[in-house]
Amino acid sequence: MIKHTTFIQIIAGYFILTLGVSLIILSNLGAGAWDTIYVGLSNQFGLTIGTWSFLVTASLIFFNALLNWEKPQFKSFIGTILASLGIDFWMELVFSGFTVAHFPYQILAFFTGIILLGFGVSIYIRPQLFSGPIDGLMIATSKRFNISIKSARILNEFLALAIGLLIGGPVGLGTLFAAIFLGYAIQYGTALLNHLKDKGLKII
């Protein structure tokens, strides 16, 4: 049973992180490796980016289970659904018809997106209720092929990037920067939340 406050925290985290994802996509400087797949599929076959996010990550939940002959982690569907709804909320409603045309604003949108994405992730992972399907794939790959978590993550990211590139996803210089800076954004977001908690200003 998920506590009411925990669920609110998870929703808040995904609300913020999907805003970050949307700003990165709108910057047109290159999206994250997996986001290039969702955008590429949307451009090629229609349907919304959020819909493809759901279809791909939902498939990963079952693929991860198959990879290690384990039961599917059905709790991961919580994040899958929230991410899909969040991306479509921002892209299809809030930012519908909106473009970022000038390079300085593209830079601003991109790095604001990175910060928000990292902060959103640091919020939703605090309850440690479930792991996302992409994180699950990393763990499953590590177990199945007996390689380190780091190697599994790099392998998965490069495979996603290759697929995104093949289907015409928004692969660019920003994709590399996203891979480099997202970890730092999550780290500092977590540190900020811990600092607020230590100061008695617990907001999440």
158 domain residue, yes or no: yes
204 domain residue, yes or no: no
pLDDT digits (tens, 9 = 90+) for 62-96: 988 888 788 888 888 888 999 999 999 999 999 98
40 domain residue, yes or no: yes
Q: Which two tokens stand for residue 23?
A: 């700003």
Mean pLDDT computed over 10-23: 91
What is the band of 1 on the pLDDT scale with cuts at 50, 70, 90? Answer: very low
Mean pLDDT of the chain: 84
pTM (2 decimals)?
Answer: 0.83
By residue range, what is the domain housing residue 41? 4-198
139 domain residue, yes or no: yes
203 domain residue, yes or no: no
**Does residue 187 surpass a pLDDT of 90?**
no
Say what the pLDDT of residue 197 is.
67
Chain Cα centroid distance, residue 178:
11
Q: Higher confidence at residue 36 or residue 193?
A: 36
88 domain residue, yes or no: yes
pLDDT digits (tens, 9 = 90+) for 92-141: 999 988 888 889 999 999 999 988 988 887 887 776 666 678 877 877 88
Is residue 53 within 8 A of residue 42, CB to CB? The reply is: no
91 domain residue, yes or no: yes
Closest Cα partner for 85 from 178, 185, 10? 10
10 domain residue, yes or no: yes
Q: How many domains does the chain have?
A: 1
